[in-house]
Amino acid sequence: MSFSSQNFAPEIVKALSECGYEKLTPVQQKAIPFARKGHDILANAQTGTGKTAAFSLPIVQQLLDKPKTKNNHQARALILAPTRELAAQIAQSIQDYIKYTSLSVAAIYGGVKMSSQVNKLEKGVDVLVATPGRLIEHLEENNVSLANLEFLVFDEADRMLDMGFISSIETIMAGVSTQPQTMLFSATFSPQMNKLAGEILKQPKRVSVAKENVTADTIAHVVYPVDQERKHEMLSELIGRKNWKQVLVFVNYKETANMLLKELKLDGIKAVLCHGDKAQSARRRALDEFKEGKARVMIATDVAARGLDIKDLPHVVNFDMPFLAEDYVHRIGRTGRAGQKGHAVSFVNRDEELTLQQVEQLIGHTIRRVEQAGYEPKNRDALIQKMHSKPAFKNRKTRTNNPSDTDQGSAEKRARLRNMIKNRAAGSKK
Ligand code: AMP
């Protein structure tokens, strides 16, 4: 199904073709016709499915169909997103779609000065993309009004709830007196989500594509059982041996991210960080370096990496298994996109086996297990023995969980790894 057959304005069709969009993705095929008719939508779709265009194109077309002069401080459409990165990304996509029209879009989110955003809001804006907290600040200062809101979207609604935005959402909704056409997009559904959907949507049309995407043939899932303390070594080894060029690595804690950055550096692998302690500008710079191939690895925590659009990403690594099985789905949504082959690689220690089971239940199939030679997890007896054997614990610099390995042996190993990584990278550039 092509965009030109969808009765979109020629300005939009032209912009979409410049974006390289030819055919509608499944979520677009399902959601766009309903949304164009003005229905509320409840969509089960994750990042990477083309959901941004699925909710924004029908809005943009309807805004063009009913042109209005802008009222100061007012927005006709509001898109709420959980993170700054996602808000910026949605606004950028919409800017790409409307560049041949007279419509306007603005993004407002925390981490940047309020004053720089006030100017954008002053003359009114057609489409406003916002994170809930910053939107409330602007509403309180009367920098923006939702008095005439016609369209409302909740993107990645599950993450907004996970991040505790429910009371912010209630505050925002209390200020909406019109009955906007409302769309809610979420990768997962919980009782709390169903309650929210029940409160804000009127007879919604249901659209679902998440399952197809998760089990997409284009994603090869693989699990490496490994002891926790060997994970960073194994990551360097896999990156080097398999010559992975662009790897997004998920960790559960900022501390792990910082540690891993240092370890990869020692192995000669350039990595950047994307976690909550980093300023907005630093995160953006890291993302740019990663996208441009200046950094081979981006180490990210779930919240910071939420919704990031990184095209054609070949490898996603779960260095830590996520706490929630649903987050596995979010994380690997960055790979295998738009028909590209992707690899979802998970490092699983003994304690993470339970999460792995839950993930397998969620995605509906078991994941192939590969034991990497030299990294086979120690059996339980050996672990207990090791916990009681002082030498291994006394020497904290020891890089492996084999007490007989000396620092000297480790340094040699690391030097060998560095050389291998350098040679392979050089070889592939030729
Ligand atoms: P999203 O799920 O909205 O984050 O979109 C994922 C990626 O797919 C983005 O890079 C979009 O630009 C791209 N995309 C969205 N719709 C299409 C389409 N119909 N054809 C090709 N690429 C698309």
Q: Is 66 exposed, middle or buried (0-12, 13-18, 19+ CB in 10 A)?
A: exposed
Cβ neighbours of residue 82 under 8 Å, at least 6 residues apart?
Answer: 131, 132, 155, 156, 159, 160, 163, 165, 306, 307
Is 390's pLDDT higher than 70?
no
Question: Cα(21) to centroid of ligand 1, in Å?
Answer: 8
Which residue pairs from 8-11 have beta carbons closer than 8 angstroms and sit at least 24 positions apart in sequence?
8/57, 8/61, 9/61, 9/64, 9/101, 11/64, 11/98, 11/100, 11/101
| Between 56 and 392, the higher pLDDT residue | 56
The answer to whether residues 117 and 138 touch, using CB atoms and an 8 Å cutoff, is: yes
How, if at all, do strands 315-318 and 41-44 pair? unpaired
For the stretch 12-21, pLDDT in tens is 999 999 999 9
CA distance 141 to 135: 10
Q: What is the mean pLDDT of residues 348-368?
A: 89
Pocket of ligand 1 contains residue 25 by CB under 6 Å: yes
Pocket of ligand 1 contains residue 21 by CB under 6 Å: yes
pLDDT band at 271 (very low <50, low <70, confident <90, very high): very high
| Between 327 and 37, the higher pLDDT residue | 37
The answer to whether residues 96 and 121 touch, using CB atoms and an 8 Å cutoff, is: no
CA distance 240 to 268: 10
For the stretch 181-195, pLDDT in tens is 999 999 888 889 999
What is the full DSSP assignment across 162-174? HTT-HHHHHHHHH
- Write the residue with the smallest CA distance to atom 14 of ligand 1: 50
Q: Is 372 exposed, middle or buried (0-12, 13-18, 19+ CB in 10 A)?
A: middle
- Write the residue with the smallest CA distance to atom 13 of ligand 1: 50
Cross-sheet strand order for the sheet of 342-348: 271-274, 297-300, 247-250, 315-318, 342-348, 219-225, 368-369
What pLDDT score was predicted for residue 406? 42
Q: What is the mean pLDDT of residues 112-116?
A: 92
Ligand 1 pocket: which of 17, 49, 183, 185 to mutate (most atoms <8 Å of CB)? Answer: 49
What pLDDT score was predicted for residue 110? 93
Tokens of 96: 């790409």
CA distance 287 to 293: 10
- Most confidently modeled of 173-182, 371-380, 392-401? 173-182
pLDDT band at 410 (very low <50, low <70, confident <90, very high): low
Give ∠ CA 429-258-275 in degrees, rounded to 5: 90
What phi and psi, each to the nearest 5 degrees, are found at residue 194?
A: -60, -35
The answer to whether residues 37 and 76 touch, using CB atoms and an 8 Å cutoff, is: no
- Write the residue with the smallest CA distance to atom 16 of ligand 1: 50
What pLDDT score was predicted for residue 201? 97
Pocket of ligand 1 contains residue 52 by CB under 6 Å: yes
Return the residue matching tokens 């969620």. 362
Is 85's pLDDT higher than 80?
yes
Question: Cα(306) to centroid of ligand 1, in Å?
Answer: 16
The closest of 302, 231, 233, 305 to 269, measured between CA atoms, is 233
Q: What is the mean pLDDT of residues 207-212?
A: 67
CA distance 287 to 273: 9
Domains in the chain: ranges and CATH: 3-212+409-429 (3.40.50.300), 219-394 (3.40.50.300)
Amino acid at the residue 79: I
